[in-house]
Structure 1
Amino acid sequence: MKTSPPIQTSPRARHVLPPSATTVADDVLKYTRVAMLLHWAIALLILANIALGLSAALLPTSVLSDTDARFVIDTHKSIGITVLGLAIARVLWRFTHRPPPLPAVFPGWEKTAAHAAHLALYALIFALPLTGWMHDSAWSAAATHPMHLFGLVPWPRLGFLMHLDPALKDQLHTQLGTLHTWCGYALYLVLALHIAGALKHQWIDRHPVLRRMLP
């Protein structure tokens, strides 16, 4: 009885992974879904807060009435506290779920720059809401204007600032407001560098780094 000759395959064909294996291989390089959710939630809220902060600072009273300005500022505060909570969750998740390593093809200096940018982002994501909270707590009218998250949940001010001597409190209120503003400018810069670096790797270097943070 004749037997069929063995099917010849090229060396290249023998190394092609099936679709399921490709999916598994890709998933190894991705962040977890929880990390993705926290990343994009924080990113969107930060962008919204940038828009609200700039609106309150730059729009004239003819466009933004006092009532509207108070609503914008209160929403800005609420989003900031929400970002602080999500950032804490993000750091705790990162400690228990190690992120995927950067692609091996990245030169050493780019890996160092990427890690430095991530550290700067984390530092500023914490610094902005904390300085904002301190700035608000040193507000002379804080005692008569209680803070509520999104108008619903009471949120405390920092007592060690509220109970200071009025003159010192006013001075700190101004200084903390300036610090909060400069932290915002620093975040704009680091965020722009972070986005530019990701787009460079994706579109110029042809490394699919964006897929690491996409479902």
Structure 2
Amino acid sequence: MTDARRYTALAIWFHWLVALGIIANIALVWIWPNVADEQVRPLINFHKSLGITVLGLAIMRLLWRLTHRPPALPTGYKAWEVRLSHWTHVALYMLIFAMPLTGWIMDSAWKGAAENPMYLFGLFEWPRIGFIMALDPATKLAVHDRFGEAHEVIGNLVYVLVGLHIVGALKHQLFDRERQLERMWFWGKTE
């Protein structure tokens, strides 16, 4: 594999920082039902901070991706694999944006939002979406519930697409003997 097939260092950083943020947020969702009540709110607040951070990283990653061509896929890929890879990546990008946005909208419509400011990692107040907070209580509750449901559905889709992404990478690495993982690692043999 030549260096031309490897992603740039910045693209690799964006990929792994977004991936780690998503993994950490999934872990928090699994953890908070099993902790004492007084520990739930701090975990939810950390979840929100990670979500906003993932959104910011995703924006930067997309801007980078729009201005930098990714390395070419190995020539041995079948046409259906190339199409599936492309559409999986498009869907992942959409979900990576939709997940924090639906969470932010849901949080802005939370009935306790005005009394409980959100602080990004406890450092500074992160604004909620003002026009959503200003909705009448019944509409706000409906927005909260609908976007909460969407947030959960999108989360389940993230599981499926991340799983597909990982299975595809491992298939190419282990069975097709393409050095697929080295394209997105900082280390490894490149030739």
What letter is aligned with 1:52?
A: L
Partner of 2:11: 35
Are residues 1:192 and 2:166 paired?
no
CA drift of 1:214 comes to 1.1
What letter is aligned with 2:9?
A: R
**What percentage of residue pairs aligned between the two structures are identical?**
53
Partner of 2:51: 80
Runs of 4 or more above 3 Å deviation:
none
Cα distance per residue 1:169-215 (max 9 Å; x no partner): 11111111111011000000000000000000000111111111112
Partner of 1:140: 111
SS of residue in 1 equivalent to 2:2: helix
Partner of 1:121: 92
TM-score, normalisation: structure 1: 0.85
Runs (5+) with no aligned partner, structure 2: 187-191
Are residues 1:181 and 2:152 paired?
yes
Separation (CA, whole Å) in 2 of partners of 1:85 and 1:48:
16
1:205 to 163, 176, 180: 176
Are residues 1:49 and 2:22 paired?
no
CA RMSD of superposed structures (Å): 0.9
Separation (CA, whole Å) in 1 of partners of 2:154 and 2:170:
24
Cα distance per residue 1:14-49 (max 9 Å; x no partner): xxxxxxxxxxx6211100000001101110111000
Partner of 1:172: 143
CA drift of 1:65 comes to 2.1
Separation (CA, whole Å) in 2 of partners of 1:211 and 1:26:
10
CA drift of 1:144 comes to 0.6
1:69 to 25, 40, 46: 40
Cα distance per residue 1:65-104 (max 9 Å; x no partner): 2221001000000000000000000001111111001111
Separation (CA, whole Å) in 2 of partners of 1:78 and 1:66:
20
Larger RCO (CA within 8 A; separation ≥ 6): 2
SS of residue in 1 equivalent to 2:114: helix
Are residues 1:93 and 2:69 paired?
no
Separation (CA, whole Å) in 2 of partners of 1:121 and 1:153:
29
Cα distance per residue 1:141-167 (max 9 Å; x no partner): 100100000111210000111000101
Separation (CA, whole Å) in 1 of partners of 2:9 and 2:70:
11
Separation (CA, whole Å) in 2 of partners of 1:140 and 1:41:
32
Partner of 2:122: 151
Count residues in correspondence: 186
Bigger-Rg structure (1/2):
1
Runs (5+) with no aligned partner, structure 1: 1-24
Separation (CA, whole Å) in 2 of partners of 1:33 and 1:122:
19
Partner of 2:189: none
